[in-house]
Amino acid sequence: MRLPACFRPVLHAALAVLSLACVPALAATLPLIPMPQSATPGEGQFTVQPGMTVGAQGEGARKTAEQFIDLLHDSGGPSLVLAEDDAAKDAPIQFTVAPGTGGPETYTLQVTPERIQLNATASAGLFYGAMSLWQLLPSGNAQAGATLDAVTINDGPRMAWRGLMLDSVRHFQSVEEVERLLDAMAVHKLNVFHWHLADDQGWRIQIDQYPLLTEVGGCRVPLGDGGIGEDGQPIQECAFYTKDQIREVVRYAAERHITVVPEIDIPGHATAAIAAYPELGVDRPQLQVANGAGVFPNLFNADESTMTFLENVLGEVLPLFPGQFFDIGGDEAVKDRWKASKHMQARIKQLGLKDEEALQGWMVNRLGTYLAQHGKRIIGWDEILMGGPLPDGAAVMSWRGTEGGIEAARKGHDVVMTPVTHLYFDYLQTASPAEPPGRPSLIPLEKVYGFEPVPAELDAAQRQHIIGVQANVFTEHMHSFDRVEHNVFPRIAALAEVAWSPQASRDLASFKQRLPNLLAHYRALHIRYARTPFQVLFATTPSADGKQASVALSDPLDYADIRYTTDGSAPKADSPRYSAPLTLTVPTTLQAAVFFNDKPLAPPTVLGLTTDALRTRSDEQLAMCTGALMLRLEDDGPRAGPRAVYNVDIFNPCWEWKAAPLSGIASVQIRAGRIPYFFELAHDEYLRTFKKAKTAYGELELRDGCDGAVLGSVPLPKDPGADGFQTLDIPLKAAPSQANLCVYFTGDTRPNMWVLDRMTLIPAGN
């Protein structure tokens, strides 16, 4: 089949765009993410050979050329050499910084039969052009050349702020890990690293005037069994970044044209600081650094001494970060303790303020004035709008949706759109049971890609205040860096295209065709991206007699080419293609994989169809009775090694096997675990429900529907077994042939809660 001209692949080794409907713009068919503004085909080809020289002309060009050569080498591409100054003009690959009409982040990349020419008016644009050239060249096979079709790419960003926030408080990352993330941000043309450095669970930045911030506030005892040593004593974990380490990260980021924006939250998310210096809190509370999650009630007070403390902290922090913005947080500041404190009520009257929201506004304005005096702009989460007028030059991060951003833009303030509905990467990205702990409300890649940061309801002048877009990575559930990478990649590629590419050109089908090329580059750089979006999901329905099962296959990203086998081998390009649910005899082992251009996008998913497996459901396969606040939670032990993971609705912990086949079933076996209940719910506390216990330690009950008739009940033990689990058998009482089998544990969920690991139907006679 001969492809239309607009589908001619720019790189012969690149993935051909076969299934995309013909898009006139060549930019949509290049294997580049984010998609460039425009691309024009030329005549002929250029082959990049190992050992070719790269010439660098103009300020910053040599550094960019060195970075490009190193990146290409590290990702297994052809090895190139930086030309000496006297030979630079004759090199077949040219990087040039020269005056022009484009902005500092724009570039032109031209491939002709004679050479590759990359031009920009500033080193930032040259760097981004180098990242595009890197994507066009193949990863791996360093000894082979790479042939590029002639093309001219003119490119530049849509948005000025293209950001990623990393929470280094809930779980700490080493400097090396942070720099690995910066490397990956750079190849996506992201330019703002928002660094969350202080919260209830820790203070992570050295402050010389207040050493207890790190000596006390930088330490905590991990939750539950994970915080107990072999001697039975608590184990503290301490971590923070020294000023020299901060300078190193900022320097490293700047070399990749990334600005680091620090965040130190006020007045809430302050538990760690108050634990170190109780006089900072409301009525001098004696606190421990938090090891749980949620919204804590501990706030800084608004005394003059506390404001001096905050200004002194800023005075030490600001010189470390040369960027324009400083983030003061401002979110989730529950005012209950301010309201209950006579001292704080007197302070509100002393300052002539209306209420507690106005007091937070006063603190924001006070720090905004201090920052302005030091050449900085204040930025905070959208709650800072609630305390009255913001300082001139203040900017808002709209996280609770886009409404806060709309309000701020209408008031003349700059806005970074970062809504929890689309851009919080601690939410799971697929329904796969292989997803790590997180928030199971899904934010799949296509939802990220579909987010439009500039609201249509703003007029032209107001739209100019939408300066950027950002994804956030809160790490309550990410105790290792590989989990950070899993949650960030490949969704960050979708965010990058939203932030960089023209809105009118964005196309999900095109993006999905270009994504496999980027995945190959991820693998070459050893980025541990999520495979789950590219792996097959199974939905299994057993026959009435259990001798067969119908299995439906699906692909989270709908690449629509699933191959499968039933002979124990991994699927190949010539394996059967899935088109409709499969009827399989029990027992059978089914393997399935998603293919693109006859190559699997991820390792196959394996389903073992056995009689026992069909009678068992894991917690990931069960429904929640209400799903009010479902989380995928990790067990608190062992201290080292793999831990169990459970789906649980912490507001209403019960699990339901819908339409469970109970004909001939005599009992139900439940394997349960128990984890600490470590959530601070603030004003959502009233939503937490549980059923009262009738015996000393509560009961495990089965019902027909979450509020239906009781089908069976057994008392719970005081504790689980030594392995952390407890297996319980519940005889069924007059069960129907089919039921929505609901499981719950009675008794208060605090301080520990029972959770379901799996449910198995046991036939009579077993």
Catalytic residues: 199, 269, 332
Concatenated DSSP letters of 548-575: EEEEEEE-TT----EEEESSSSPP-TTS
Q: What is the distance between the alpha carbons of residues 599 and 572, in angstroms, rounded to a whole number?
A: 8
Helices (H) and strands (E) in the chain, counts: 18, 38
CA 699 to chain centre: 37
Kind of pairing between the strands at 377-381 and 395-398: parallel
| Torsion angle in degrees (nearest 10) through CA of 605, 611, 612, 616 | 70
Go through 331-347 and write b for each residue having 16 or more CB atoms within 10 A of its CB, e for each that does not: bbbbbebbeebeebeeb
DSSP secondary structure, 412-454, as one string: T-EEEE--HHHHBTTB-SSS-TTS-SBB-S---HHHHHT--SS
The continuous run of DSSP H or E covering 363 comes out as helix 356-373
HSE at residue 289, side-chain half, CA atoms within 13 A, is 28
Alpha carbons 422 and 278: distance in angstroms, whole number: 37
The pair phi, psi for residue 210, each rounded to 5°, is -135, 75
Cα–Cα distance, 653 to 646 (Å, whole number) = 11
- Nearest-5° angle of CA 200, CA 206, CA 212? 65
Whether residue 390 contacts residue 362, with contact meaning beta carbons closer than 8 Å, is answered with: no
Q: At what angle do helices 481-488 and 175-187 cross, to 10 degrees?
A: 20
Nearest to residue 498, comparing CAs of 560, 434, 422, 569?
422
Gyration radius of the chain's alpha carbons: 29
What does the buried/exposed string (b/e) look like for 433-471 if buried means 16 or more CB atoms within 10 Å of the residue's CB?
eebbbbbbeebbbbbbbebebbbeebeeebeebbebbbb
> What 8-state DSSP symbol labels residue 721?
-
Convert 193-236 into a string of H (helix), E (strand) and C (coil). EEEEEEECCEECECCCCCCHHHHCCCEECCCHHHHECCCCCECC
Contact at 8 Å (CB) between 116 and 46? yes
CA distance to 217, 242, 270, 485, per residue, from 290 (Å): 9, 22, 10, 25
Residue 533 carries which side chain, given as an amino acid letter?
P
> Cα–Cα distance between 244 and 270 in angstroms, integer?
24
DSSP code of residue 61: H
Q: Which two tokens stand for residue 353?
A: 């303020």
Is there a contact between 273 and 300 (Cβ–Cβ < 8 Å)? yes
Residues 6+ apart with CB under 8 A from 374: 314, 315, 318
Angle between helix 123-136 and 61-74 (nearest 10): 20
Q: How far apart are CA 429 and CA 386, in angstroms?
A: 32
**Residue that has been written with the tokens 């689309």 in this structure:** 422
